[in-house]
Amino acid sequence: MEVAVVGTGYVGLTTAVSFALHGHRVTGVDVDAAKINRLKQKICPIYEPGLEEALARAIDSGALRFAASLKEGARDADVLFICVGTPEAADGSADLSYLFAAVDDIRALQADVPKQRTVVIKSTVPVGTADRVAALLAACGGIHVASNPEFLREGSALQDALSPSRIVIGADADEAFAVLKRLYEGVKAPRVFTTRADAELIKYASNAFLATKISFMNELARLCAVLGTDVQTVARGMGLDSRIGPEFLQAGLGFGGSCFPKDTIALLQLAKQHGVSLSILEKVRDLNATQPDWFIARLRDRLGTLHGKRIAVLGLAFKPNTDDIREAPSLKVLNVLLREGAAVSAYDPVASPAVARLFPQVTYASDPYAALQAADAAVLVTEWKQCVDLDWQQVKAVMNAPVLFDGRNAWPADALSKAGFVYVGVGRS
């Protein structure tokens, strides 16, 4: 089948590569000409483990190519996946302008080269969007519209796309279901066939529920900090109940990234537009917004003041194994530290250049020990392996004071306390 993928960001590029590896002929299309040029040279524009090698393999096999426009590279496409961004608009709802621009391009393509096609929305969009797109494309004739939300995680995007937890397909015509069934033939995963609206809501509900688990644990961690109980042990004990499950019970500095924050807010906005209050989710959002402040307040208490203190921040990306800093907790942490007059040195294996554009006043180190040099305290913000597996003797030797604030509960608390460090985790005894 001829597949076009519109938008070659985290989701689009991963989708294009994974369909190509599954034997389809794929064209990735993006309005960003520089990105397309790099992709044609097999250069992956994002940091995503395994993706660059797979990209090269897919291009070399002849299954994957790239084009700067649909008319240039996707005239024969039977299936067009829309994978453009749907960022947060000023009122919190999803900004659909990129999506509708892509729909306009598809309409123009269809007018030029009329053909039976299936347009599949993979971008995360509010309930009713696929119906709106179907109405817009109805006049072209020959086009079915389906919803096929994506559940991949950054840092393991390719692996998640090749072996997804489930494939959700929403459509209103047998032909569209048949096309997507063929396309995903050979991918082992449970299928959910439903309406477009259900598919759209499954995506938001999944992200909102995972975000709720995290905020629940973060709030519980605040109680643990007062009671002297250990949220890690509590989470382990809870997670052994298969009805709860062990995942997403990790307390920390709150959830970041390009999706949980914007998707929880977009779902709240959607509900509000329909006169429904999602009060649990409102609390999830509010708690998440204050979690870095809550933790840094403990650091301030410990040091007396942040003013004039030298603080090492380890990890800047919103999670390990990605260069993505969208809504990263590190940005909130840096904001507070700098606002209160601390001198900050930071380390991240890949995300420093992006953060440096926002915070030029921070010193960016090329390894964790350089960041820790003469520090009055260290804060672990992202649990990169390089920031977790440290030589603690060396850490102690280079720091001004052995004060460790573990924002991810990833450092060995007991061993560090025994070794004479002051260790403070998120809700750990």
Ligand X SMILES: O=C(O)[C@H]1O[C@H](OP(=O)(O)OP(=O)(O)OC[C@H]2O[C@@H](n3ccc(=O)[nH]c3=O)[C@H](O)[C@@H]2O)[C@H](O)[C@@H](O)[C@@H]1O
Please list every residue from 120 through 149 that binds ligand NAI, using CB under 6 A.
123-124
Among the candidate windows 73-81, 150-158, 221-229, 335-343, which touches ligand X by CB under 6 A? 150-158
Residue 249 engages ligand X in binding (rule: CB under 6 A): yes
Residue 47 engages ligand X in binding (rule: CB under 6 A): no
Q: Are 78 and 117 in contact (CB under 8 A)?
A: yes
Q: What is d(CA 312, CA 402) in angstroms, rounded to the nearest whole number? A: 12
Residue 54 interacts with which of ligand X, ligand NAI, none, CB < 5 to 8 Å by class: none
User: Which residue lies nearer to ligand X by CB, 27 or 123?
Assistant: 123
Nearest to 294 by CA among 265, 352, 267, 254: 254
Q: What is d(CA 367, CA 370) in angstroms, rounded to the nearest whole number? A: 6
83 is a catalytic site residue: no
337-341: Cβ within 8 A, 24+ apart: 337/296, 337/306, 337/311, 337/313, 338/362, 340/300, 340/305, 340/306, 340/307, 341/306, 341/307, 341/308
Please list every residue from 190 through 209 that binds ligand X, using CB under 6 A.
207
Q: Which of 164, 252, 349, 407 contacts ligand X by CB under 6 A?
A: 252
Distances (CA, A) of 271 to 148, 151, 226: 21, 22, 35
Q: Are 343 and 310 in contact (CB under 8 A)?
A: yes
The sign of the torsion formed by the CA atoms of 86, 90, 92, 96 equals negative
User: Which residue lies nearer to ligand NAI by CB, 152 or 362?
Assistant: 152
Q: What is d(CA 407, CA 295) in angstroms, rounded to the nearest whole number? A: 7
User: Which residue lies nearer to ligand X by CB, 116 or 165?
Assistant: 165
What secondary structure letter does DSSP report for 425?
E
Which position among 44, 83, 140, 259 bears the catalytic label?
259
* Strands lying side by side in the sheet with 64-67: 64-67, 25-29, 2-6, 79-82, 117-121, 143-147, 167-170, 191-194
Q: Which of 5, 11, 313, 365 contacts ligand NAI by CB under 6 A?
A: 11
Q: Which of 30, 88, 105, 154 contacts ligand X by CB under 6 A?
A: 154
Q: Which of 4, 5, 16, 29 contacts ligand NAI by CB under 6 A?
A: 29
Q: Which residue positions form the known binding site for substrate? A: 151-154, 203, 248-252, 256, 319
Active site (catalytic) residues: 259
- Where do contacts with ligand NAI occur on this chain (CB under 6 A)? 6-12, 29-32, 35, 83-86, 98, 101-102, 105, 123-124, 150, 152, 154, 258-259
Q: Which residue positions form the known binding site for NAD(+)? A: 30, 35, 86, 124, 154, 262, 326
- Where do contacts with ligand X occur on this chain (CB under 6 A)? 124, 150-154, 207, 210, 214, 248-250, 252, 255-260, 318-319
